[in-house]
Structure formats: C-alpha cells, structure tokens
Amino acid sequence: MVLRLGRMVGTTHPAETDEHALAALMVGHEVQLELDKEPAAPQDTVLDIHDLRVLDDRHGLAVDGLSLQVRAGEIVGVAGVQGNGQTELVETLTGLRAMNDGRVSIAGKDISHASPRQVTELGVAHVPEDRQRDGLVLDFPVADNLMLNTYYLPPNARGITLQDRVIRENAVRRVAEFDIRTPGIDAPVANLSGGNQQKVIVAREFSRPIKLLIASQPTRGLDVGSVEYIHKRILAARDAGTAILLVSSELDEIVALSDRIAVMYKGRLTGVVKPDEVTRQQLGLLMAGYTEDERASSPDER
Amino acid sequence: MSSVEGNRTNLPTNGKQRPASRRQPRHAGWGQGFLLPLLAIFTALVLGGLLILVTDLEVIAAFTRIPRQVADPFTNADTQISLEEALWHHPPEVSMGDLVEVDGTAKRVVAQVEDEQEQISLETARELYPQLGPGVTIHLNFLQKPAVGLRAAWQSVSRTYAALFEGAIGNPSRMAAVVRAWLQGDPSLLPQAFYPIMESLVVATPYILVGLAVALSFRAGLFNIGAEGQYFIGGLSCVFVGYSLKGLPIYIHLPLTLLAGVIGGGLWGAIPGLLKALTGAHEVINTIMMNYIAFALSDWLLNGPMQRPGGFTPVSPEIQPSAMLPSLFPSPIRFHAGFFLALACAAAVYWLLFKTTVGFELRSVGANPHAARYAGMSLTRNFVLAMFLSGGLAGLAAANEISGLTHYMPNAFSAGYGFDSIALALLGKSHPVGVVLASLLFGILRAGATRMQSVASIPIDIISILQATIIIFVAAPEIIRMIYRLPKGKKAGPAKASTAAEAAAEAAAEAGAESVE
C-alpha cells in the first residue's frame, strides 16, 4: 500500500513489484533512475584545503593532513563510513570548528580562522548534516527559518528593524519556488515533514548568490520525492558554476552525483577517483582504508 | 533508498502553489495561550477557596456542631420583644416576661429575641432526642442540617474574595456613586474610591519590570535567577546618583538616576552572562551567587559609606527632588509615572524581541544555539547582551521604586520581586503582553490581600499559596487539560486547527487532481 499526500494511491504485493514501480507510485510519476547529467565543466579552484588537521570533541585527530580542491562547476563527493572525520571537516570548512593546523581558502581568500558569518558572506552555502540541530530553529515559523542567516542584511532588515513585509513576501516566493509543503509561512517549521524541513534549508541556502555549496547528508531520511528534488537542485547549482562539496554516507548518492569522489578514512583521503572509473567494490575497499596503491598491488596482504 | 537516488528532471513542479500566501496572524495560538492561564487562575481560586474553608473556624463549627435552641412554638420578632426595645416603647415600668403592646400586637418581653434561624421546633428535636423538652440547646451535625454548613462555607469564601476584590479594585457601587458625584462637580471623594485600584497598579509596576527582565532572559535561553541581586545593585546605583548629584534640573537628573539603575543592574547581570559565554559556567549557579554578593554589598554600603548621615538605621539618604518621578495624584494615592514607564518598557521589549535583528538573534540563540551559531550569530555576544538587558530591566524596577515611591533605599528593599519575577515570566509565557497581564494579576492579589486580612481575617499568606498554585498550573498545563478535558498539544488552538484543516483539505484536493492525471 502506498500513501501520498494522505491518500492511498496504489496497492501491490512485494512479490509483484520492484523498486522502480514502488518509487514511481510514491513520487507520483515514473522516476528516472538513470542519471541525466551533463559532463562537468570545471573552472577555477574555489575551495582549497591544504594539509588540514582538526581535532574532534575528545581531542583526537579527526582530520589528519587532508588536502583537497573543489573547482567551480564540479561536484566532489566525500565518501566514507560515518565517523571518519567528515563531520569535523565540514564544521571546520564552515567556521563552526577551529582547525589545528593547515590552511583553507575559498576563492583565494584565506578562511582558516574565519567565523561562520565570514564564511557565509564569502558566498558559501551550507546544508548541515543534522538539519534539526544545526539547520533550523524548529520553534520558529517557516518565514523566519528562510532568513536565518540573512536576517541582518537588506532588504530583510533596515538598520536593526526587521522588514516584516519583505520577509513575508520572500517567504511566500520561496515556499512556492521550492514547493515546500506547509500550512503557511507562519507555521513552526517543526510541524513540517523531514523532506519539507530540508527543502526550507535548501531554499534558504540556494536563494542567495553562492560560490561554494557544502552539503552534508543532504537527503538523509527523506522521502523519494524530496531526494529527487534536492538532487536536481544540486545538479542545477553545479551547472550554474557553483563548486560543490557533497558529503554523504549514501554511496549511491555519491556515485550518482559526483564528478570526482574523495574517499575518506580515519581523517585521511585514501583516494580521489572518478565515479565511472571505479567499481563499488573498489570504492568499498577505499572506504575500508586500502589506499589506491595498495589496491593496485595486493589488497589481500592487509 | 538505494534504488531511487539519481537525477530526475521531469519532476512535477506543482503549478498551483501552496497556500503559503494566506495571511495568518503571527501568533496563531493566542486563543489557547489565554485560555490555559485563565483556567489555571480559576482553578487556583477554587482550590484557594477550599483552603479558606478548611481553615475558617466558623465554617468548621458550622459543619460540625450547629447549636439550636429547642422552642415550641417558634419564637421570633413577631411574638417577642427585647427588654431594651420594650423599655423604649413603654418606659419605665416593663420587666421580663410581661406582655406589652407594640404597633397593635402583643409581645412578650424577653432578654433577647431568638432568631428563628437558630431554633429548632420541639417536634423536630424529639425525632432526634425523644426525651427533650423546650428551652434546651442541642447541637446538630452537618448531615442533619447541611444547608447551614454550606451557607457558612459560601459566606466565608464569598466574603474573602469580595474583600480581596474590593481591596484590589474597589467597591463598584461606591465607585459608580463617586463618579456620578464627580460628574456633578464634586471630585472630593474620587481619590478614596479609586485608591484600591491605583494601589494595585503601584504594586504591579515593579512586577512588570522584573517580569520583563526574566522573560527576556528566558527568550535568550538563559535562566536568570539573579533578578533580586540585580534589583539591589540597580537600587544602590540609582539612589547614589539620586542623592549625591545636586543642583541638576529634573530633566537631566531624573533620567540620569533611572539610567544609573539600568546600568547598575545591567552590569551586575552581564557578569554571569560573560562567565557563561567565556567559561561555560552555568548562569543559574552564578546568578544565585551574585545575589548573595549583592545582598552583602548592599548591607555594607547602607551600614557604611551610603548610610544616611546622623542616622543609625541602615537606610540611604533621601534622593534629591529633582530625581523623583512625579506622582500624578495628591497624597494618599501613591500612583506615579513609573507605571507608564513600565508599560513603555514592555512595548520596547516587545519591539526589540520581535521586530529587530537584535531580538531575532536573542530568540534564535535561546531556541536553538546550534542553529544560531550555524547562522553566524555570536553566542558570547548574545549571552552577555541578554543578561545585560535583563539585569538592566531589574535595575530599572528598583530605580522606579526609589524614584517614584520610597525616595531612599532601605536595607530590606525588595519584597521578593526577584523571585516572583520567575513566576511572572512563566505565567506570561515570556511574552511582554503576558508579563504585563501576569503582573497586574499579582499586583491585584497583593494589594487586595491586605484588606482581605483585615475584613475577612484570612491570613495574607493565602495569597502566596494562590500565586504558587497558579504557577504550578501554568507550568504544568497538562493538569489543566486533564481537569477540563481540553484537547492535547500545541496545535489545539482554534486558529491553528482551522488552518490545519484547510491545509489538509487543499492537500487532499491536490492529491486527487494528481491521481486523476
């Protein structure tokens, strides 16, 4: 039985159906499972990470000498088993966590010790890993969450006075544009489904001029329709010339979206590969800590 | 999930859009927001009534031993006359037991006319005690005469609450009469009739300010327990500026005096804010400790450097007249301009919290500090700012009291405002309007309590119990929901329910349209 928008749209037996058919029922039309992606046209380097070292909350080394570049117009996927330093990496890049050593620059500007606001103002969008903890103020209405990091900028504010009318108009536009299903822009965002909460974040982050998108687990726990929608938005951003760092523990998502895949293991990169040049098995080995050289020679020895 | 990731381009863009443009009031839950506190107050009054009943000796007597004189036939004012009255009618030769004629009827002269209410007929009495003769007094219990107990109970409670009401608001009929007299050109009785309500407002004034102080800190996610200490420090700095600066015009000295209170309390509050922001020290512990320091500091200053010259009591000198808030009415009425200052502060806090970027940051930090950091807000700055503003309001409450009312600072300065303020912020749901309403309620209860004690001889402490009960019910709304069978949860408010229903209907229609295609 498949439910959509509060209605039963179909009934089927597990034996008689497959994933394609179920997905089609759930999103309301035949979804394309094959990737419809133009080849990337990478341009200048936007994000430049050099020999980054970051400590985690327990003062262990979470990111251990990591270097990576992301260029405009490409998606670099960071694959890896959760807890291998991805969270700390993203927090450091967005100014939420202080780095121990190394250097990070965005579009040529050093942000090694920048605050979250300075990073945001450089044109960095951040879809956080835990949307309810970091990305949203659940008690606040949709309208307020849509301007959570631009509330102080004109036209949202003039001096210290919030421009209610402008904020509301913008909220209405975003809700329409990003198809956010909400009882209204005044409804607390906590009342929305997970997919629509994520759409609020995406709407907020994608609605301002951005050079770099850092998306961490952007589709975790979402329904198929929302997953599809967010993937579409990410690709559109890439085609518009945004550099994108995609962190996900969904290997399928990484493979489908990325132009290059960086595999992270214990705070280091075990390899940077192109998705069409590796098999799942090879990726799995990299995620388990076998470096590319070892993979080429003899993985059995380890 | 694994089979459905990927890029799909022909997504339904959902041409007709969500009803997001519908203009809703920003605070859609107000119906519920007011209903619950009102029910809480009502329930607390009922419980308070029960408490009055079980502690009132008269009521207890009426429920346990009801004295009745057995009489046959009933004697009353129609057949009897008191000796005193008989002597007045027929001086001087009347004595007990005589029959006298008054207004055409013969009446027997007795020591005191028995009220029919306090008698019981021989017939009824013999049903209980068959051997009984007339003239004795028997005691009935509640079950034999329930109306007596219930009447006494009702009288006790209604007398108490009527006294509370008259003490807090005034006697309505008297107020109406005085207003009528005033319209006819006789304003002489106005102050007396309106004294109670004015007094309630005077008592409510500091409540409003300290309530706002704590509400503001709540909004920023900080539990400011230190309003009491900030109140003391605010009072000290205000009174110092008030008496030490001399010869300034009022339009400079008065604002300066009030500002001194704000800054004194604000800085005192900012210290625990700073400690929290820099070291993570919990503000609850630190504000409590700052309270003790404030009390001790005030004790020392008022017994030493700031003691009134030539005096032996720990009070400060009186402030200059130029530092006094103008009182708006002649002497018995203590009502002063500070009340309007408090209301203006409530409006300012509302504006700051809900209409400015500053308030947006404070509320974000309070509602979700992680998201606030993510959005680029500084937790340090907002913690310190919130505590400064909170302490400043508490300090202003003190400055207001000194400048408008006492004109000096005594050692025992606060009537527990700092602690009541937590209750006020809770009761007012940390909203400026709610805090003002809660403060008026507390002012009314406190001001009315005095009259209640003198008229109905109900101890003033019942008010503290009432306040506490109200707070418990407001803090635990599930109790109220259970008692009155209200629907659960936040979304139960009528305004929200209707929009949710509309949204559901629209969603269903939309789904229908989609499944058709």
DSSP string, B182-202: HHTT-GGGHHHHHHHHHHHHH
d(CA B289, CA A245): 48
Largest Cα–Cα distance of chain A, in whole Å? 66
Task: Average the pLDDT over B9-22 and give the result.
Answer: 39
Chain A contact for B363, CB < 8 A? yes
Q: Residue A1 falls within a domain, yes or no?
A: no
Task: Average the pLDDT over A98-124 and give the result.
Answer: 93
Give the range among A76-80, B107-111, B320-324 with minimum mean pLDDT: B107-111
Q: Which helix (H) or strand (E) holds A216?
A: strand A212-216
Tokens for A251, please give them.
Answer: 């290997």
With beta carbons less than 8 A apart as the criterion, state whether A160 and B357 touch. Answer: yes
Edge-first strand order for the sheet with A109-110 is: A61-71, A45-55, A101-106, A109-110
Q: Which alpha helices (DSSP H) does chain A contain, by range?
A: 19-27, 86-93, 116-121, 142-145, 164-177, 194-206, 224-239, 251-257, 280-287, 292-297
Strand partners, A158: A161
Identify all chain B residues contacting A246, using CB atoms and an 8 Å cutoff: none
For residue B179, what are the contacts with CB-CB under 8 A and spacing of at least 6?
A: B190, B193
Q: What are phi and psi of A40, to 5 degrees?
A: -70, 150
- State the smallest CA–CA distance between residue A233 and chain B in angstroms: 9
Question: Is the per-residue pLDDT at B502 higher than 50?
Answer: no
Look at residue B71 in the predicted model and tell me its pLDDT. Answer: 66
Give the range among A69-73, B127-131, B511-515 with minimum mean pLDDT: B511-515
Give the range among B5-9, B365-369, B436-440 with minimum mean pLDDT: B5-9
Look at residue A142 in the predicted model and tell me its pLDDT. Answer: 95
Tokens for B80, please give them.
Answer: 């009897």
Question: Is the per-residue pLDDT at B503 higher than 60?
Answer: no
Q: Residue A62 falls within a domain, yes or no?
A: yes
pLDDT class for A296, splitting at 50, 70, 90? low
- State the smallest CA–CA distance between residue B363 and chain A in angstroms: 9
Q: In this predicted complex, what is the ipTM?
A: 0.85
Look at residue B77 in the predicted model and tell me its pLDDT. Answer: 61
In terms of CA atoms, which chain B residue is nearest residue A9? Answer: B515
Look at residue B513 in the predicted model and tell me its pLDDT. Answer: 40
DSSP conformational letter for B476: -
Task: Average the pLDDT over A93-100 and give the result.
Answer: 93
Tokens for B31, please give them.
Answer: 């119906």
Look at residue A226 in the predicted model and tell me its pLDDT. Answer: 87
CB atoms within 10 A of CB B103: 6
- State the smallest CA–CA distance between residue B429 and chain A in angstroms: 14
- Over residues A1-12, the pLDDT tens digits come to 666 556 676 777
Cross-chain Cβ contact A148/B375 below 8 Å? yes
- State the smallest CA–CA distance between residue B408 and chain A in angstroms: 38
pTM: 0.79
d(CA A224, CA A26): 7
CB atoms within 10 A of CB A49: 22
Higher pLDDT, B62 or B265: B265
Q: Tell me how many degrees the CA angle B353-B356-B360 measures, rounded to the nearest 5.
A: 60
Look at residue B311 in the predicted model and tell me its pLDDT. Answer: 77
Q: Residue A255 falls within a domain, yes or no?
A: yes
Look at residue B185 in the predicted model and tell me its pLDDT. Answer: 81
- Over residues A246-257, the pLDDT tens digits come to 999 888 889 889
Q: What are phi and psi of B121, to 5 degrees?
A: -70, 150
- Pick A96's closest partner by Cβ from B1, B374, B511: B374
In terms of CA atoms, which chain B residue is nearest residue A94? Answer: B374
Look at residue B436 in the predicted model and tell me its pLDDT. Answer: 96
- Over residues B466-489, the pLDDT tens digits come to 888 888 888 888 888 888 888 765
Task: Average the pLDDT over A107-114 and give the result.
Answer: 91
Identify all chain B residues contacting A144, using CB atoms and an 8 Å cutoff: 360
Identify all chain B residues contacting A126, using CB atoms and an 8 Å cutoff: 374
Q: Residue A12 falls within a domain, yes or no?
A: no
With beta carbons less than 8 A apart as the criterion, state whether B467 and B178 touch. Answer: no
With beta carbons less than 8 A apart as the criterion, state whether B168 and B200 touch. Answer: yes
> Considering chain B, what is the average pLDDT of its residues?
81
Domain ranges of chain B: 67-140, 199-448
Question: Is the per-residue pLDDT at B507 higher than 70?
Answer: no
- Fold exhibited by the domain B199-448: ABC transporter involved in vitamin B12 uptake, BtuC (1.10.3470)
Domain of A133, CATH number, reads 3.40.50.300
d(CA A76, CA A253): 12
pLDDT class for B331, splitting at 50, 70, 90? confident
Look at residue B201 in the predicted model and tell me its pLDDT. Answer: 94
Interface of B with A in 20-39 (CB under 8 A): 20-22, 24-26, 28
d(CA A137, CA B363): 10
Counting the structural domains of chain A, the total is 1
Give the range among B138-142, B233-237, B358-362 with minimum mean pLDDT: B138-142
Look at residue B333 in the predicted model and tell me its pLDDT. Answer: 84
Interface-testing mutation among B11, B27, B361, B514, with chain A (most A C-beta atoms within 10 A): B11
Higher pLDDT, B217 or B24: B217
Question: Is the per-residue pLDDT at A18 higher than 80?
Answer: no
- Over residues A20-49, the pLDDT tens digits come to 666 566 655 444 445 567 777 888 999 999
Look at residue A212 in the predicted model and tell me its pLDDT. Answer: 95
d(CA A269, CA A282): 14
- State the smallest CA–CA distance between residue A263 and chain B in angstroms: 19
Q: Residue A38 falls within a domain, yes or no?
A: no
Instruction: Tell me the CA distances in angstroms from B92 to A248, B89, B95, B100, one per residue in order.
Output: 113, 9, 9, 12
Amino acid at A132: Q
Q: Residue A23 falls within a domain, yes or no?
A: no
Largest Cα–Cα distance of chain B, in whole Å? 119
Matching residue, tokens 């890439």: A238
Higher pLDDT, A36 or B1: A36
Give the range among A105-109, A279-283, B195-199 with minimum mean pLDDT: A279-283
| Domain of residue A160, residue span | 44-296
Q: Residue A172 falls within a domain, yes or no?
A: yes
Q: Residue A281 falls within a domain, yes or no?
A: yes
In 3D space, the residue among B19, B415, B390, B78 whose CA is nearest the CA of residue B210 turns out to be B390
